[in-house]
Structure 1
């Protein structure tokens, strides 16, 4: 089991009751669980189990969605690795999508009947945002395997269960495709259960790499009529069209992105300005476009003006759309890094800065400790003094982690990276908790 030792069932129940009646310190509760409880409380999730997870779509819509989902191809593998044991040992296994919707729930009949009472059924949304602390939802929230035992669940309706879950990623892009989960009684509150779901997730990823031409957003391509573009956190973008995946050179990545941002097309002189602050000879640009057309084909890249001939679905656009909907945790989870991080093309730099500032602003404004930790824990947020200070403010008074976060903000101040008002707050926090 990861992290500190899990408390006893009675101690967990008592801690949960204390937190529900008077949120505050959580002695004896694992940090992973305590952070999740605080997120749930901040989101207004009911801890008494009176609100069950919602169902998504009709049975017919769910069936069509499942057939098109990339994890459908590895469902037989999950059944082989987890299904037989689930039926024999009195527990169930489930496979969900990246939003926490349960696509398949199978296993012991009696356990499945009990699971229906808390709506752990196909089509139910078990994201942490909808269902509170639970293994599949929290695994998706954190992007790693987790185990949640009995009273560690935020909803009292789930206190009779233990579960272990691991995210499953696209082996090419490392995007989260979904999650695999084991749920049941005491046998799931053990290290072997966590190891089993981790192994199943890794096996599924290996199988996907061998067999499935996944789309760049992690979904099986349902149509050949658009381009999928992955350009976050990488210098060489991936472009999928007509079932073929192209790894573009850094320069071609800049060109394709510039065209994707101008869907009506761009004339050569304007494209040259988008690509460089220095003058780009027309002959050089024409040569680059000729090489790019040879890679993508004339059905994808047009000219006069230069344009992409198919609609573009880009990972950068998905993050922006999630932010526009207020889904900050999902946007952060789908942000592997800045847009073409080493590019100096003006069009790329402008869009990269805008997207990063939108995401950063949403994380800071949300005041969620888990999201702030993920931000400062990433390369692009490690030297963000305002984020370190915001993290310090979200942590409990007297916490060593709070003092450390404040100290980090203060240290960044020493190199002039922080405004004076923020500097004073950091110094006060450091003195009061060191």
Structure 2
């Protein structure tokens, strides 16, 4: 079934007709749509691989390592299995257990710092558990990547007991015995113990449970209103809907870490040149939203790094990770903004992503782009899909019809 699926020899009724478990079939479909290569040698290295030591030191599960080692790792060291602990994004933080199994797993890059999300490695227990936020067992050939198919694995997601946020997953990987109901019960019980441990530390006020402050985050892509997310002093996530002008300012400051004078910022925001008094008033109001300590003046600049969906897509493109860029791109940058500089950045991002997708030559990525609002009128993209010898007849027929519709509309 795996051979038929990766070769494209299955129809649209695949989910209804396959003997595969539905959770596996749906994961295969996501893996293929995200451009995962089933013949690639295991997971990719995460962009965070160089900072895995820092991630370990600051991750909430670091304080629970003694619990995990006592309940899982100690017995794994002589039983041919491995225990993997991942962050919420799928990056492996710790991989411990049987030394022989660890050496064999290096061949598929099952090591700290590797990206074992579904996007990075296809169907696998920790990645699929994080994608679904549910416990998962993946047996041998159910893995999407062929190099992983000699292994079986069981993974259960871990949540912050105070906020309910997904913070990672605990996985047990080994032979066929790892996919048993007893193994699932063991990993599930370990996760319960870990979450209780974290709750107890928070309750007792241990320094190890002080809130973990990630950078504030700006969401500026897509049709939804722009949003600002930050963590308060108690570690609770705060979300604020931004005005269009405030979102414009934050995007521009994030792209100009050197800072902007009031005159320069006014020119970037409006080609009719806003006056400096208006800029000062907007910055005063913005400080009340993001915090006075994050914005400095003369010049206006951000005093600490922030994360954003815009930066995520640009970073993914810079590293050549086109599937990740598509995952992060939910739509145009601040589509309602009339700022000339935002318009330029909007065009740059969309054009860069489109060019990267077409350059890959991957039909799955091309079809994802063409399904986006910006891709629906991309005549060159539809023509490329139509002319591809690797496209199925039905797909080519759809592309031919879409091209006919575009030509009719354009006269």
- Interval of TM-score (by shorter of Structure 1 and Structure 2): 0.5 to 0.7
Q: Answer yes or no: is 1:45 the counterpart of 2:40.
A: yes
Unaligned runs of 5+ in 1: 1-6, 47-51, 222-226, 421-434
Native 8 Å contact 1:56 1:123 kept in 2: no
- Identify which of 85, 92, 95 aligns with 1:95: 85
Residue in 2 that maps onto 1:275: 269
Question: Is 1:357 aligned with 2:351?
Answer: yes
Displacement, 1:389?
4.5
Task: Verify the 8 A CA contact 2:118 2:127 in the aligned structure 1.
Answer: no
- Structure 1 residue 290, shift from structure 2 partner: 2.5
Find out whether 1:118 has 2:86 as its counterpart: no
Rounded Cα–Cα distance in structure 1 between residues aligned with 2:94 and 2:383: 42
How far did residue 358 of structure 1 move?
A: 0.9
Change (3 A) 1:184 1:347: same
1:67 deviates by 2.4
Report the CA distance shift for 1:308/1:180 in structure 2 as closer, same or farther (over 3 A).
same
Alignment-derived partner of residue 409 in structure 1: 402
CA shift, 1:255, in A, is 2.0
Whether the aligned pair in 1 keeps the contact of 2:43 and 2:110 (CA below 8 Å) is: no
Q: For 1:155-190, what per-residue CA distance to the aligned partner results, in whole angstroms no more than 9, with x for missing partners?
A: 5553333346688899xxxx9976665545557779
* Structure 1 CA distance for aligned equivalents of residues 405 and 94 of structure 2: 48
Following the alignment from structure 1 to structure 2, what is the Cα–Cα distance between the partners of residues 294 and 232?
23
Alignment of 1:157-196 (within 5 A): 157-163=147-153, 181=171, 183=173
In 2, the alpha carbon distance for the partners of 1:60 and 1:262 equals 25
- Structure-2 separation of matches of 1:140 and 1:329: 20
> What is the aligned partner in structure 1 of residue 124 from structure 2?
135
SS in 2 for 1:364: helix
Retained in 2: the 8 A contact 1:391–1:405? no
Q: How many residues align?
A: 373
Determine the C-alpha separation between the residues in 1 that align with 2:156 and 2:328.
Answer: 16
Counterpart CA distance in 2 for 1:360 and 1:275 is 26
Describe the shift of the 1:399–1:78 C-alpha distance in structure 2 as closer, same or farther (beyond 3 A).
farther
Q: The residue matched to 2:409 in structure 1 has which SS?
A: coil
- Give the aligned partner of residue 339 of structure 2: 345
How far 1:68 sits from its partner (Å)?
1.6
5 Å matches for 1:361-372?
Answer: 361-372=355-366
RMSD: 5.5
CA, structure 1 residues 165+247, in 2 after alignment: closer, same or farther (shift >3 Å)?
A: same
> Take 1:213 and 1:381, find their aligned partners in 2: how far apart are those partners?
42
State the match for 2:258 in structure 1: 264
Using the size of structure 1 for normalisation, the TM-score is 0.61
TM-score normalized by structure 2? 0.64
Q: CA deviation at 1:362?
A: 0.7
The alpha carbon displacement at 1:136 in A equals: 5.3
Point out where structure 2 has 5 or more consecutive residues left out of the alignment. 12-17, 203-208
Matched, 1:235 2:221: no
